[in-house]
Amino acid sequence: MSSGQRSRERVIEAGTALAFLVSMLASIGFAVAYWRGGQTQWEGVTAALAFGGLGLGLGLWGVELLPSDPSGKEAVQERHPLASSPDDRAAFTADFVTGEQELARRTVLGGMAAAAVAAMAGAALFPLRSLGSRPWRALRTTPWQAGMRLITAEGRAVRPADLEVGQVLTVFPDLPGRPPGAAAGDTQTLLIRLDPTQFKPSPERAGWAPDGAIAYSKVCTHAGCPVGLYDAVRHQLVCPCHQSLFNVLDEARPVFGPATRPLPQLPLTVDGEGYLVAQGDYPEPIGPGFWAREGG
Amino acid sequence: MLIRRLVRGIDDRVGAARFTRSALGKVFPDHFSFMFGEVALYSFFALVGTGIYLSLFFEPSQREVMYQGSYQPMSNVPMTAAYSSALRISFDVRAGLLVRQAHHWAALVFLAAIVAHLMRLFFTGAFRRPRDLNWTVGLTLFLLALANGFAGYSLLDDLLSGTGLRVGSAIALSIPVVGPWVVSLAFGGEFPTDEIIGRLFVVHVLIVPLAIGALLAVHLGLVWHQKHTQFPGPGRTEHNVVGSRLWPRYAVKSVSLMFGTFAVLFALGGLVQINPIWLYGPYDPAKVTTSAQPDWYMGWLEGGLRLFPPWEVRFGWFEIPAVFFPGVALPTLTFAVLYLWPFLERRVTGDRADHNLLCPPRSSPTRTAIGAGALTFYGVLFLAGGQDVFAVRFGLSVDQLLVMFRAAVLIAPPLVGWVTYRVCRRSYTSPEGAPPEGAASPGGAPPEEGAGDRVPSHRVTTTSAPRPTATATSPSDTGPM
């Protein structure tokens, strides 16, 4: 070995030792950082140095000082054929078939055993049913009912005049015995005050928006995110998840983005005290679609 | 001396010395790209270690509590125990935030390493026989890793994670016929339910990690048994492995890589904030944040949901909602093609031989072009997942960006594929002067080693190689004398 090579190895040895020393000190530093009350950045730096020192030291040692092979050259190994010898294969097949024939002599037993296992697998599916309930009713209806007041998240009932034209408010049904915002996943509704001269409801929706107070489901018909943004200038609702736009003046039909269906409209009226109430549940299922949404 | 006694003690009882001796001398080829899989493995180790620690403090429950911890802005805010305990880990458990952030970073690195590993295997043809089997094991690991990443960040029950679950349930709901039942059985009813966090916890810390552990054993066992592929080069043939022996060089290098991976993960965990759940607030189904992006490995699905046009399929009252196509069909198709790729390629090329030598990507222009086109497709989808962020950053309207991305996702992949194909054809000359994509010997054995191809393999060759002695070789002894 040349002296140049030897001195190079000396340097690498020293570097490796230094890396291990840094790791050791960093581990102690981590313990100190923790003991002194813990500080995420210090913990992170010391932990990284502890791991990194060990990694660097071992890396130098492995790459620079350890041989690939005791011969000093690159190690070479032959690959064995992966397949077994034809004799072994034939012997295996023969042994297996012998056993199989033994079993096949009693076909009735075999059939019965298979049937028993199949029945067991079928029976095992039943307890899975406990994981959920029949989905249809929950998907097709919400807790909104006729005469239920629209309340804010704070529980305040709303009159049409409480909103200025262009203002939007998230409302929920005033469910008896439940806090405001209960069942919000289904019931969240956007109440928007529009200028009644700006939009012309279709005949079947006439009288659903007293004094221009119009209500749409807040659950996006695309992937179910809350349609949380309102552009009062363009009269568009924006879903922040996938950027669908719904035109509030045109029954919340989608005008841009991936949504295919309008946001369902909640029919409103006012009660004796002038507060907004629902005329009933949404006339169609709210939220993202499913295969039998329009079916019975 | 201790080693000698230990070896004798164990070998008397199980007789393992013969196998383990050949294991010590096992040869592994070296290339930087072979480390991606190792980084994934070591990220998984980090995930298990940090995850166990976190699970000792996390409370997977949707019971409502009033926050009483030290993060003042949330004082007395009603929230679930899950979110509250995640805040506790972040602010009141010493080293908790470090471990939580290192865990999250480890998940991102885990998936990045898996994807890099997958790309390496694809572009070099490492999935060909006999490794087509292990390719399918690896893809299943990829799927499990994706699922567990999603389950993991959904556990914390903050506003962002709840929104992710909401979208996830809408995607599951869109599956024809079974969708509503799938959602009901998975979530315990219509979204949102009080049971999902507890269920996800079991999935995240028990079921999927067990499956990953078991499949990792199969994956590594097959790599061990079938031996690693290698790039063509002097002295390298289809019938040998050239590299370094497991003991001690390769083992030390690999352990070094493990600690290096941990170092990066903990540096990120300590210094680079990730998923600051305290800024998002507890999940409220009626609220949503803008610029809501999932973890990076879900970005392609997010982008697909945004780009897919408002098309739904209807036959009478039967419908297939629009989210089905980007949310269910696209990932199903993606993985179906990945699983079947080795078999598809074999059918098209008629190449049924075993391959242990890798092909440089340029030597298989068609495969490389298809891969580059596919990567472009998923890359555009990934970018489209952040279109609202780009809109704010570059002052463009979301509408303009959507049109641009819709055009790009259709035009860019074939374009990139075609350019890739041309570049490969032009720049590659096979060692034998044969045209690229020769089925017989892709990459080509180096001419001077032609004889090596026909050397019959003998068990003797392996075991007769000189062994390192049990005592550690001192560094000064190792250079060529």
Q: Is a pLDDT exceeding 50 seen at residue B462?
A: no
pLDDT of residue B317: 92
pLDDT by residue (tens digit) across B97-113?
999 999 999 999 999 99
pLDDT band at residue B473, thresholds of 50, 70 and 90? very low
Rounded Cα distance, A44 and B461, in Å: 48
- Mean pLDDT value across residues B186-210: 96
CA–CA separation, B219 and B140 (whole Å):
10
Q: What is the pLDDT of residue B464?
A: 35
Burial readout B41-72 (b: 16 or more C-beta within 10 A, e: otherwise): bbbbebbbebbebbeeebbbbbeebebebeee
Residues A187-193 have a mean pLDDT of: 96
Strands B27-28 and A245-247 turn out to be unpaired
Is the pLDDT at B454 greater than 60, yes or no? no
Handedness of CA B424, B426, B429, B433 (dihedral sign): positive
Token pair of A100 as six digits: 């199989």
At B431, is the pLDDT very low, low, confident or very high (cuts 50, 70, 90)?
low
Model confidence at B398, pLDDT cuts 50, 70, 90, reads confident
> Is residue A120 pLDDT above 50, yes or no?
yes
For residue B295, pLDDT beyond 90: yes
Q: Among all residues of chain B, which has the CA nearest to that of A57?
A: B256
Band (pLDDT 50/70/90 cuts) for residue B233 is very high
Average pLDDT score over residue span B304-328: 95
Q: Do B467 and A139 touch (CB under 8 A)?
A: no
Q: Which of B174, B238, B268 is nearest residue A288 as measured by Cβ atoms?
A: B174
Lowest model confidence (mean pLDDT) among A118-127, B253-262, B287-296: B287-296
Chain B: residue whose CA lies nearest to A256: B399
Note the pLDDT of residue B477: 36
Rounded Cα distance between B444 and B436, Å, is 10
* Ramachandran class of A199: left when φ > 0, alpha when ψ lies in -120 to 50, beta otherwise: beta
> pLDDT (tens digit, 9 = 90+) per residue, B321-345?
999 999 999 999 999 999 999 999 9
Q: Does residue A271 contact residue A265 with C-beta atoms inside 8 Å?
A: no
* pLDDT at B452 > cutoff 50: no
What digits encode the pLDDT tens for the residues B27-59? 999 999 999 999 999 999 999 999 999 999 999
What single DSSP character describes residue A231? Answer: E
Is residue B89 pLDDT above 60, yes or no? yes
pLDDT at residue A1 is higher than 70: no
Helices assigned H by DSSP within B227-364: 251-271, 277-280, 299-307, 324, 330-349
B270:A223 CB<8 A: no
Q: Point out which residues pair with B242 in neighbouring strands.
A: A76
ipTM summary value: 0.95
User: What is the dihedral sign for C-alpha B292, B176, B188, B139?
Assistant: negative
Q: How confident is the model at residue A296 (pLDDT cuts 50, 70, 90)?
A: low
End-to-end CA distance of chain B, in Å? 29
A&B contacts, CB < 8 Å: 323
Scanning the structure block, which residue is given the tokens 């370094």? B244
C-alpha B414/C-alpha B403 separation (Å) is 18
The encoded tokens of residue B227 equal 């031996």
Q: Cβ–Cβ of B184/A69 closer than 8 Å?
A: no
pLDDT band at B432 (very low <50, low <70, confident <90, very high): low
SS3 B193: coil
Please say if the pLDDT value at position A242 is more than 70. Answer: yes
B396 in contact with A, Cβ within 8 Å:
no
pLDDT value, residue B427? 84
B229, B236, B259: best to mutate for the A interface, most A CBs within 10 A: B259
pLDDT at residue B460, as a whole number? 31
Residues A7, B476 contacting (CB under 8 angstroms): no
Phi, psi of B60 (to 5 degrees): -80, 70
Cross-chain Cβ contact B248/A66 below 8 Å: yes
For residues B391 and B368, what is the distance between their CA atoms, to the nearest angstrom? 33
Q: Tell me the pLDDT band of A251, cut-offs 50, 70 and 90.
A: very high
pLDDT at B288: 85
pLDDT tens digits, B150-184: 999 999 999 999 999 999 999 999 999 999 999 99
**For residue B471, pLDDT beyond 50:** no
Q: What are phi and psi of B78, to 5 degrees?
A: -70, 140
Residue-wise burial string across A16-46, b where 16 or more C-beta atoms lie within 10 A, e elsewhere? beebbebbeebbebbeebbeeeebbebbbbb
Q: Is the CB of A139 less than 8 angstroms away from the CB of B180?
A: yes
Q: What is the Cα Rg of chain B in Å?
A: 26
CA distance B51 to chain A (A): 17
Interface of B with A in 74-103 (CB under 8 A): 94-95, 97-98, 101-102
Please give the pLDDT value at position A183. 92
Number of continuous H segments (helices) and E segments (strands) in chain B:
19, 6
Per the prediction, chain A carries an average pLDDT of 94
Question: Over 70: is that where the pLDDT of B479 sits?
Answer: no
Q: What was the pLDDT predicted at B430?
A: 61
Task: Give B444's pLDDT tier (boundaries 50, 70, 90).
Answer: very low
Pinpoint the alpha helices (H) of B92-207. Answer: 96-123, 132-154, 159-173, 179-187, 196-202
How many whole angstroms separate alpha carbon A60 and alpha carbon A16? 6
Answer whether residue A82 shows pLDDT above 50.
Answer: yes
Which of B250, B253, B286 comes nearest A170 by C-beta?
B286
Which residues of A are less than 8 Å from B188 in CB distance? 131-132
Q: Rounded CA gap, B440 and B70, in Å?
A: 68
Please state, rounded to an integer, the average pLDDT across all residues of chain B. Answer: 89
Residue with tokens 């222009």: B365
For position A3, what pLDDT does the model report?
A: 86
Q: Judge: B319–A294 Cβ closer than 8 Å, yes or no.
A: yes
Q: What is the mean pLDDT of residues A212-241?
A: 94
Label residue A123 by pLDDT band (50, 70, 90): very high
- Type of residue found at A293: R
B123: closest CA of chain A, how far (Å): 23
